[in-house]
Amino acid sequence: MEQQNAISEPKVWFITGASRGFGRVWTDAALKRGDKVAATARSLASITDLKEKYGENILPLELDVTKPEQIKAAVAQAHAHFGKLDIVLNNAGYSLVGTIEEATAEDVRALYETNIFGTLGVIQAALPFLRQQGYGHILGTSSGLGHVTLPVIGYYCSSKWAFEAIHESLAAEVLAFGIKVTIIEPGAYATEFGSPESLKFAPGLDIYADFKAQFVERLKNSERGDPNATPQALFQIVDAENPPLRFNLGSHNLPWVRAAYAERLSTWEKWQSVSESAQGSLK
């Protein structure tokens, strides 16, 4: 198999959700540093200005990640156009706002169609090309909410927990092919993720109205990071010989996750004797 050239050369990225938020910031930053990007978005008009700015280094592609055939065509076109794919970055996604009782099955299915099945479609379409190359780096934009949860956006959190598990299994499965996997876990950032384009709302029940209003108010007052401060950290990940499987983006996640896991360990240990009593023996 062809091995990746050790000499520094421009990397080729395939990025979903490149029209706004982290996708837009990272697409622009990768192009600025001289890399090449197959930038995808549901609307080509939202990324045409990048083509005007960066010329042949960018391949704008229309892509709705809920359409499997469109995914396969976009990945194949990007690989044929640039001759390789170094980095496949799944960034497309949105959040469903609603309590566990309020959201309908249709709401949740739609969320998973984008956040999970869309991501899987891109990964499965890219893997044959990456295996043939003998190298590649799959990145996925998860969240600190892939380890902890918040109310009102529990279904979004659940999609990120699934996202984390899928990528962790994937990392073990593709290691022998020279393919790396990294889960990017941002904390709260001042991106467009809170915009109407990135949020869908489940039908509300009056009984939860006050609780949800208080929750939203807390979110509004929370400290947020600057998305434009993130590209250099991302580049250190993709340029590393041995990148981490998980990478916290920002300063807020680690204390939060550390406390959550400490509480879980404490609870498991407190109930350890009861747990072990349920083991039994077949001897």
For the chain, the domains span: 12-275
Q: Angle, nearest 10°, between helix axes 231-239 and 21-32?
A: 70
pLDDT, mean of residues 227-251? 96
Return the pLDDT at 196. 53
Residue-level pLDDT at 276: 96
Please tell me the distance from the alpha carbon of residue 149 to that of residue 155, in angstroms, as a whole number. Answer: 9
Q: What is the three-class DSSP state of 103? A: coil
Residue 248: CB atoms within 10 A of its CB come to 19
Q: What is the DSSP letter of 118?
A: I
Rounded to two decimals, the pTM is 0.92
Distances (CA, A) of 15 to 66, 90, 140, 185: 15, 6, 10, 16
Average of per-residue pLDDT across 42-57: 95
The average pLDDT across 82-108 equals: 96
**What pLDDT shows up at residue 269?**
98
User: How many CA atoms does the CB half-sphere of 189 hold within 13 Å?
Assistant: 24
Instruction: Specify the pLDDT at position 188.
Output: 86
Topology (CATH level 3) of domain 12-275: Rossmann fold (3.40.50)
pLDDT value for 146: 96
- pLDDT tens profile 243-279: 999 999 999 899 999 999 999 999 999 999 999 999 9
Residue pair 26/231 in contact (Cβ under 8 Å)? The answer is yes
* CA pair distance 90, 232, nearest whole angstrom: 18
**pLDDT tens readout for residues 120-166:** 999 999 999 999 999 999 999 999 999 999 999 999 999 999 999 99
Catalytic center residues:
142, 156, 160
Digit-coded pLDDT (tens) for 55-67 = 999 999 999 999 9
Q: Is the pLDDT of residue 187 over 60?
A: yes
Q: Check whether 49 has a pLDDT greater than 60.
A: yes
CA–CA distance, 52 with 4 (Å, rounded to integer): 30
Q: What is the pLDDT of residue 1?
A: 39
